[in-house]
Structures are given as C-alpha cells and as structure tokens.
Amino acid sequence: MTKTYNICLLPGDGIGPEIIAEGVKVLDAVGAKYDTAFSYTEALLGGCAIDACGTALPDETLRVAEASDAVLLAAVGGPKWDTTDPAKPRPEQGLLGIRKALGLYTNLRPVQIFNALADASTLKPEIVDGVDMMIVRELTGGLYFGRRERFYDEDGCGTSGAAGQRAYDTLEYREYEVERIARQAFEAARKRRNKVTSVDKANVLETSRMWREIVHRIGAQEYPDVELEDLLVDNTAMQLISRPVDFDVVVTENMFGDILSDEAAQITGSLGMLASASLGDGTALYEPSHGSAPDIAGRGIANPLAQILSVEMMLRYSFDMNEAADDIRRAVTAVLDEGWRTGDIKQVDTLADKIVGTVAMGDLVVSHL
Ligand code: IPM
Ligand code: MG
C-alpha cells in the first residue's frame, strides 16, 4: 500500500519559492519510484509572513509544522525587512522561533566535496581533497536564546561616568542540553569515522568548561569506542582551513556552530551545495545552509542543489528511506560529473551551454533518478 507523508513547505523569501519547487519535484519523483506519496501544505515564515500577518512566525504556520511529518524550508530574509529597531519584527525571528518551538536542538550540517567541484574551492585541491565532515551544531540554546537587554544607563556604568546605552546577551547552557547534543555527536560519529572534535572556548568561558566536562563524561561512560578531542574555537577556525580532511564530527554550541559552519561551507567552494537537518524529538526541519539571496531572486538562476540535498537528508532522517536518499545523491553527482552548472558553481572550463537555471537543474536531477 502506498505510504503517505505530510510535508509542511516553507518557501520563505528571496529565491526560496524558486528552489523549494525543485525540491518538491525531486521528492515527487523519488516518491513515485518507492511507492510513497507526499502531500504538501504551504505556510508562511519570515519576511513574507511579516508582510501578510505582521509576525515572522504566524501561529498557523507553527500549527501546520507541528502536524506534519517533516518540514521543508527554503530561506528567509531580505533587505526589505532589515532593521536594528528591536520593536520591528525580523524574518530571522521566524527561523529561530520555529527551531525553538519544534525543539530542534540538533543541527546537522554535512560538509562534503563533490569531485566535479573540487577546484571550486578557494583552497588548494590537495588540501580539500577528501573533505567529509559533519558539523553538529547545538541549535536551541546559548547566546541565541539567552536573556538579553538594551537600555539607557543613566549612571554610565559607574566607570567613566558617561551615561549611555548598554546592552547584553547571555550565554547559558544546562547540563541536559549539553548531554543530549553530545550524544547526537557520538551517535553520528559511530556511523562515520568514529571521531568527535568538541569545540569550545574553555580557556575563557565557564559555559565552555562545563561543556567540555560533560562531553567527556558522556564520551567515557557511553561511547568509549569513539575518539574524542577538544579544540578551542579560534584554533578550530584556523585548523578547518589548514587540515580540513582531519575532521569527522565537529560538535559545538550554537553561535560557534553558526560561524564555523559558514567557514566549513566555503571549503567546498559554494554555500549553494550545502544542506542541513534540524532534529529534535518531534517533527524535523530540513533547509539549505545558504540564505535567501535577494540579489538574484526571481531570475530563475539560483542553485537548487542544497535544497535538493536537504530533501535527501529528509528521506534519510525522517522517513528512513535510505535507498531513495542514495538515489538523489547519485543523481546530483552524475549531473555535476556531466558538467552541468548553475552560475554560482560554474568553473573556468564550464561550457557556456552547460550553464543552466534553477528549473533546468531540477529537471536534470530528476532525469537521473
Ligand atoms: C544559519 C543562519 C541563521 C542562524 C540566521 C539566519 C538567524 O545564519 O542558519 O546559520 O544564525 O542560525
Ligand atoms: Mg549561519
């Protein structure tokens, strides 16, 4: 009997609607092959939700997402909604809000090189050859969700005596939050090369010292078979571009993970290729690691591959459809091997007639399934 899954689609802003259509196309194609039907409910998140409802995360969106088997998100944000006025809604609040509301504390960001794109990296080919890491970013704690405030301080902080604005954000973690993300990292490592690098700033931050202690306890008690190393975040930033091949699983707190995952993405040469999965105890969410690229929105030239690879992750992590997921990866690899490129990943030797738009790239992937 045909199995049916309900997917909540959040196209968002910018290139979002264009790329998500290609993700859906690929999902429908593999569904047909594996006797699985996907039904879709579209909802608003980010700037488009602000325009329509005055809030980046409308209640209705959360209701649809919670009732779905998985959420496929494209991207949110754009210059239209950029503001530093704390009283105005921001598209990013929709993203942070849905992560928190769905309890998506684990963010998996795989960083892999497609051979055909090896020379797209700004690093030397011999440095990036064979890069294959999984960044496990804690996603619902730390600075992103801590107490914060901005106010006018009449006393001038008691130091220089000058009155002025004052602001703070707090970096806080609880033991259970570190324990559960550590377990996710160790579990991921067991399915890979059995090594975890835990990234912190334990020479300065108390949260980091606690983080390190807890990760080591979980490792020693529950995963003695997995190799564990610690690395300070500043040093990690350096090692990532000097010896990226050495990294297997990298686990770190929310803000460090945000920064390091962009850096790691650049190793592959294009942020346009990287997918991500955000997992919790309920409905999971899948999205490309890149943004909404407002500068090229509506022109049909955006790279849909990170979105399509997010669909691959959805099949693996939410539906246990590993064969179908493998099919997608194989198809994307084949399309790239044949020389097809979107503008962002074109190379010096890319033939002009092999540069394709968003829809054509989606069609090519489907034709290889
Ligand atoms: C990401 C993004 C988001 C984050 C922004 C858009 C809020 O940079 O998913 O990495 O900081 O988490
Ligand atoms: Mg980021």
pLDDT in tens, 5-63: 999 999 999 999 999 999 999 999 999 999 999 999 999 999 999 999 999 999 999 99
Residue 68 is encoded by which pair of tokens? Answer: 């779905």
Which residues line the pocket of ligand 1, CB cutoff 6 A?
A: 92, 95-96, 258
Closest atom of ligand 1 to 258 CA is 10
Label the pairing between strands 164-169 and 148-153.
antiparallel
Residue 27 CB partners (closer than 8 Å, separation 6+): 7, 38, 72, 311, 314
246 in active site: no
Q: Nearest-CA neighbor of 138 among 257, 237, 223?
A: 257
pTM of the model: 0.94
137 CA distance to ligand 2 centroid (A)?
Answer: 11
- In whole angstroms, give the CA distance from residue 125 to residue 129: 6
Q: Identify the residue whose C-alpha is closest to ligand 1 atom 7.
A: 92
Q: Counting atoms of ligand 1 from 1, which one is nearest the CA of 92?
A: 7
Catalytic residue list contains 191: no
Atom of ligand 1 nearest to the CA of 77: 6
From the candidates 132, 169, 262, 363, give the one annotated as an active-site residue.
262
Per-residue pLDDT, 349: 85
- 258 catalytic? Reply is yes
Query: In the annotation, is 3 catalytic?
Result: no
- pLDDT of the residue at 38: 98
The DSSP secondary-structure symbol of 296 reads: G
In this prediction, residue 86 carries a pLDDT of 82
Low-confidence ranges of the chain (pLDDT < 50): none
The pLDDT score that the predictor gives to residue 68 is 98
What is the Å distance from ligand 1's center to 165 Cα?
26
- At 162 the pLDDT is 79
